[in-house]
Amino acid sequence: MASPSVNARTTSSTPSAKVVPLSAKAPERLVGVGFRCWLAGLSTGDIKCWEDAWNSFSGILGPEHAKALLLDLSKFVRAVKANAQRDIEISPSGCRGFCRDECLAISIIAACQHDERQALTASAAALIGSDDIGDTLNGAQALAAALSKANQLLCPESVCPATCALRAQRRRLM
């Protein structure tokens, strides 16, 4: 089986790609932009993608915290990519909002931080297109804990309700 790819979508040419405005909250921005940049870097091998992630993280947290958090971000994104049974969609670099899959990644980390287990498992399953979410959850929990330690708490409102994530998963299966 060919491994799923990353699909960078532009919202103007793809009517199904809904974009949620870029959150003004730093923790959500870190997760969403970091997820986008790291996944794009893994898929293209373009170092600029990883530099963009570094610049976002170090600009908000400073170089020492950024270095540690990017290691955890990398583990989370690699787990998502390795376990994905479908194409993961990301917005193009510099996009002023987040697409559905980027929002699911944010929801997963927020759900870890707020112990919303039902939403966590539903969001992870919707993101990777499979119920085999163990590695993804391990990566997410490590990133969520590292963000908490750096005083970067995502808002409870960033957790996608389980029913919302399940609807997103069902739409992809149709």
Domain boundaries, the chain: 24-173
Closest alpha carbon to 126 in 100, 98, 155: 100
Query: Which pTM value belongs to this model?
Result: 0.84
For residue 121, give every residue at least 6 positions away whose Cβ sits within 8 Å of its Cβ, in sequence order, or none. 133, 137, 162
Give the C-alpha separation, 7 to 105, whole Å. Answer: 15
Give the C-alpha separation, 61 to 85, whole Å. Answer: 33
pLDDT tens by residue, the chain, 174 residues: 344 556 654 333 333 445 555 556 899 999 999 999 999 999 999 999 999 999 999 999 999 999 999 999 999 999 999 999 999 999 999 898 899 999 999 999 999 999 999 999 999 999 999 999 999 999 999 999 999 999 999 999 999 876 665 565 555 544
